[in-house]
Structure 1
Amino acid sequence: MTPRIRSLTPAGGIVGSTPVRRILVPAAVGVLVLGLLGTSGASAEPVHGLYEVRGATSAQDRTEIAATGAAIDHVGDESVLVTATPDDAEEIGGLGYGVEEFDVPVPLADPDPGYTGYAELVGVIDEVVAAHPDIAARSVIGRSHEGRDLLAVKISDNVDVDEDQPEVLFVHAQHAREHLTVEMAVHLMRLLTDGYGGDPRITDLVDDREIWILPNVNPDGSEYDMAGSTWRNWRKNRQPNEGSSSPGTDLNRNWAYEWGCCGGSSGNPSSITYRGPAPESAPEVRVVADFVRGRVVGGEQQITTAIDFHTYSELILWPFGHTYDDVTNGMTREEYDTHAALGEHMAEANGYTPQQSSDLYVTDGSINDWLWGDQRIVNFTYEMYPRSAAGGGFYPPSSVIERETARNEEAVLRLLDYADCPYRIIGEEAAYCG
């Protein structure tokens, strides 16, 4: 009987209830590489395989496995599925876990033309701004390693004025292969502009908030992933790493809060969770961090809430990821309860599973932790559709885009509702919001 595995992963992916064929590779012997993932057209880059790791039953086990540099793609009751180099997989076997070759549940296919590439995205942004010049504006906040513009779209009444209003940030596509998040940005831009003046709720929110959408913060990686004859399963950016033939930094391990602290990222450039040589060493992370720091006015951060969109697993995650504790240094009980209550409130709308990031396994250097720990912004990671690899994994068919982006409308509006004072959701507005 073919086993089935249920899976979860923070800011990286999930495979759930997917039957697979497996070949056992004893831990003492080593591992076999499944195939070439993320190497099309780039022979000098590392070979990554897909493996099932048996005997992992706790968040602590999964953290130990992730510390090898493997990316955990999903979690089962007694096993996890990882994307890893042969060296990573051999190291996992050396820890005492059984390591097995794992068939890709959904083979990599030709890049789906229904997804929005970078040039098309720029065109969509220009179209939205041209159609709604009074409430939408675009700006270039910096450039990627390869020189592509990193764009921000502001949506608000009096869009050219920096008003004293709560601000909300939406970040998309830190990980290159997570193209559905770019479609989420397109959907939000159109929802908030086309709905203005016709939908009373949207109109009030646009009037009373300043909304920032960063539609693709890793355009180099996204374009690389889409450029081959098949999807390349690429996660990182594309900057070279000195002394290594393996390019790229995992943007969501490069943020300057508890960077590299806790075994939640890799120091090996060959790893797909490579954290970079220093915090904010990735130009894309530095640009976005500078943008967020630039929203501090009169000593006060204007951004009150944020969502960082990823795929896949249908989760809503909140900080911290670098520690298993909820109440800890930098997070009081009221602050934790605010994140949890707001996460649960949003999850009621889209059917995602709400939980603290580290309930899955420890990650460090994530935007989730930085936005709260450094900037005190109440924030969440959305892991979008699908719930399992059976729905397409990182590459669901473009036919689901409209349905799955619309699915998050109410959840996002609920975050906007509480942007004036997130602590209102636990009845602590007087204590925290004056």
Structure 2
Amino acid sequence: MRLRIRGKRTTSAAVLLTLALAVPLGAQATAAPPKEPATTAEQAERQDGPRQYEVAGVGSRAHRSALARTGVAIDEVRDHSVVITATPAQADRLRKLGHRLTALPGPGERGDIRAAGPADYHSYAQMMDAVNTYVQKYPELMSRQVIGKSYQGRDIIAVKISSNVRVDEDKPEVLFTHNMHAREHLTTEMALYTLREFAAQYGKDARITKMLDERELWIIPTQNPDGKVYDMQSGRFRMWRKNRQPNSGTSAVGTDINRNFDYRWGCCGGSSGSPSSQTYRGPSAESGTETKVVADFVRSRVVGGKQQITAHIDFHTYGELILWPYGYTYADTAPGLTRDDRDAHAAVGTSMARSNGYKPQQSSDLYITDGSIGDWMWGAQRIFSYTFEMYPPSGHPDGFYPPGRVIGRETARNKGAMLILLENADCMYRSIGKEAEYCQR
């Protein structure tokens, strides 16, 4: 018989969280402390490093895809322009190709007291401490395991939440992944919110209680710990996107993990073969240390020949979007993605978007990408997969680094959407009225 855990739990010293771990860091700090003037080396690094530019006259997905093929990262899609991340050298090349670029203020350049600093977010070490504290507080509901090491040797962990957490039961499993791109720290805060909220509300919130009784939820709080540390450790954000794995034969560092998965890798102009590019796909599929760790974990959930994970969200920032496969083609259907598959993705995606106010659409409606986790999840594993691009919306100045005061609001905003996915995870085709056709055992 499965253990059911409801009602009050015995209070002990092990269950007490410090105030710092019970709330997001953003509720404690809204800006980094003042820094000493930058050294010459720091100034040179910021001058030569990546920054954001607005590129005018880019208004269609074909134009955006053509721009992405130059190797820059498209961060934001506006009505008739896009925001990209590029080095000054890449920006000069784009200007020579005829593009009109305007440099945008970088982190710490806005002169806005509300602007975020690294102190607004959990560092990697603080995140690990918070997870360990939650696991100690809720041992009946939560466990953690190290699923692999980053390139620099940091633990990559997966946290399991379920009412009978220590038993691998035959329940639909759902996976939430976070912080694939280093600078997207709000997504790690999303993971910590979910751990806190779902554990604390078990036995109190009927929807959460039912889902933890009937599902197994896996959360990977950061897929890119080396990049996260690098982006935060100097006390100034570095706008770093990739991992920190060196590239042989070049001084350029890093692979874009979200172009390195082994499905249609490098197929379609949706990634770059240049190690200096923000969207460098690596020398081969799963060459990124962290890519393989995550992919191996997902493959490990195949039990008796059946993938136990049925649904997945990969949290990113920013733009307030919900995206589904495929990214490598503009076509709504393609090999391995039937009309019913597409319609079920769209139906659940649209339902989640009604809950959190994001815009739902197929990934390639933005621009072509290849080797992405979403395409791999569906194309290789038949896991319904979504990308959530979190706060802020397009055109908002907060960009990748919103101030700490919004963290609580913007993470809680996704509670309903996550529950909608969990509720559909036993039969995603129910959303299009085809449960009998696809989900009868």
- TM score, norm. by length of structure 1: 0.87
The equivalent residue for 1:204 is 210
**Do the aligned residues in 1 keep the contact of 2:144 with 2:160 (CA within 8 Å)?**
yes
Would you say 1:298 and 2:298 are equivalent positions? no
Q: Secondary structure at the match of 1:307?
A: strand
Cα displacement (A) at 1:90: 4.2
1:197-346 equivalences in 2 (<5 Å): 197-346=203-352
Match of 2:436 among 410, 430, 434: 430
The equivalent residue for 1:5 is none
Distance 1:106 1:365, change over 3 A: same
Cα displacement (A) at 1:349: 0.4
Cα displacement (A) at 1:223: 0.7
1:19-52 Cα offsets, whole Å, 9 max, x none, are xxxxxxxxxxxxxxxxx9xx95885996334333
1:341-380 equivalences in 2 (<5 Å): 341-380=347-386
The equivalent residue for 2:5 is none
Poorly superposed stretches of 4+, deviation over 6 Å: none
Between 1:424-433 and 1:49-58, the stretch displaced more is 49-58
**Do the aligned residues in 2 keep the contact of 1:110 with 1:230 (CA within 8 Å)?**
no
1:372-423 Cα offsets, whole Å, 9 max, x none, are 0000000100000011453511000011111100010011011111111111
**Do the aligned residues in 2 keep the contact of 1:44 with 1:245 (CA within 8 Å)?**
no
Match of 2:156 among 111, 134, 150: 150
Match of 1:70 among 65, 69, 72: 72
The equivalent residue for 1:167 is 173
**Do the aligned residues in 1 keep the contact of 2:52 with 2:105 (CA within 8 Å)?**
yes
Q: Secondary structure at the match of 2:213?
A: helix
- CA distance in 2 between partners of 1:383 and 1:110 (Å): 19
- TM score, norm. by length of structure 2: 0.86
**Do the aligned residues in 2 keep the contact of 1:177 with 1:234 (CA within 8 Å)?**
yes
- CA distance in 1 between partners of 2:199 and 2:217 (Å): 11
Cα displacement (A) at 1:106: 6.2
Cα displacement (A) at 1:141: 0.3
**Do the aligned residues in 2 keep the contact of 1:167 with 1:302 (CA within 8 Å)?**
yes
Distance 1:42 1:197, change over 3 A: farther
Cα displacement (A) at 1:115: 0.7
1:72-221 equivalences in 2 (<5 Å): 72-95=74-97, 97-104=98-105, 107-108=108-109, 111-221=117-227
- Residue type of the partner of 1:188? T
- Residue type of the partner of 1:50? Q
- Residue type of the partner of 1:383? E
How large is the Cα RMSD of the aligned pairs? Answer: 2.0
- Residue type of the partner of 1:204? K
**Do the aligned residues in 1 keep the contact of 2:116 with 2:402 (CA within 8 Å)?**
no
Aligned residue pairs, count: 396
Percent of aligned positions that are identical: 56
Between 1:219-228 and 1:384-393, the stretch displaced more is 384-393
- Residue type of the partner of 1:65? L
- CA distance in 2 between partners of 1:210 and 1:41 (Å): 48
1:245-285 Cα offsets, whole Å, 9 max, x none, are 11011111111100111111111111111111111111111
Cα displacement (A) at 1:88: 3.2
Distance 1:413 1:146, change over 3 A: same
**Do the aligned residues in 2 keep the contact of 1:46 with 1:246 (CA within 8 Å)?**
no
Match of 1:408 among 411, 414, 436: 414
Distance 1:110 1:376, change over 3 A: closer
**Do the aligned residues in 1 keep the contact of 2:143 with 2:159 (CA within 8 Å)?**
yes
Cα displacement (A) at 1:326: 0.7
- CA distance in 1 between partners of 2:422 and 2:216 (Å): 10
- Residue type of the partner of 2:72? A
- Structure 1 or 2: more helix by fraction: 2
- CA distance in 1 between partners of 2:123 and 2:410 (Å): 18
- CA distance in 1 between partners of 2:48 and 2:304 (Å): 47
